[in-house]
Structure 1
Amino acid sequence: MAAPAGGGAGLDALGPREAAAAAHALSLPAEAFGNDPTLERIWAMKAHQHAEVYFHLISSVDPQFLKLTRADDQIYAEFRKNFKGLKVDVLDAEDLKSGPAKEKWRPFCLQFEGIVEDFNYGTLLRLDCSQGYTEENTVFATRIQFFAIEIARNREGCNSAIYSRARRANSATEEISSG
């Protein structure tokens, strides 16, 4: 995955003064900011870092055995109850972003307030789960949308392609190293 826009090495690129300012800024209500470019940059770095960690996780551990939250069972049950026919392997951004989709997602998301920490925090979501995070394959979503879709992908075997591909690559590397 490429570095976030603006360069740097993620949150590690912030000095102590900038990190303290970022921590303070993230504790303020959203209304205090408008479209502050510094805050947007910090959010983008944090979202990028989360995406990298998650992709590494599903590449390293069989996704069918992953537990992403304490509420995975509840999230999955409610997700499939509310979005029975939604294909999670390859998403259409309109299933998340269109007016009717937002109206359907809003009550789903709100039911997890107080259950899932930062349930409405912005995160990055892959559209095609067989691919990595690229500009073309990534959409902005709320954290609870991310969890709902990724829990479904994990339980329904959709993320297995990433894990299998990583295992094959590791096996090939080990053969070359020992050969």
Structure 2
Amino acid sequence: MRYAQGGGLTEERREFREGLRLTAAGRFARGDTSPVIAKDLRVSVRSVQRWRHAWASGGPLALRSVGSASSPRLSGARFAQLEGELAKGPPAHGRPDQRWTPARVKTLTGRRFHKSCTVQGVRKLLVRHGYSCQVPARRAVGRDDPAIYGWVKETWPHVEASRRRPGPGSSSKTSQASR
């Protein structure tokens, strides 16, 4: 699986996975089979087999985490600066409304830090740092929930039923065969 920002795992998650591998190493030494270990650790049998192969060639040290494959696009200090810019709001950056979309954050990141990212990479970066999709907090002022509920319960079934019933002039082959 690819991650947008250099490995994509937090340090805690990397340590958790390393702990699983080291637990498996202890089970290898006891002689447990791969399917049993996989079931107990809730991982795939193929992963346990890969770990067993690495353990056989290099011991428990071969199962240690080596860190992320590459450095993240934005360091912790730069992400803190990005958070400051996001806190100023979109109007401070020339946007007419109060929405931060991944595409807008991508543009801001490119202008502020001269870093090129994909929209999906920016979205994953934001999710990794605790941001989530914005959901409208309010509904339309003129919305009438009881009227909507009544229409759905009373009117819609009649509309739906009339759409399903073949009538005169229908081109349905099943309605012509039954005549």
Global fold match (TM > 0.5):
no
State TM-score, norm by structure 1. 0.22
State TM-score, norm by structure 2. 0.22
Rg larger in structure: 2
Indicate the structure whose relative CO is greater, using CA pairs within 8 Å and at least 6 residues apart: 1
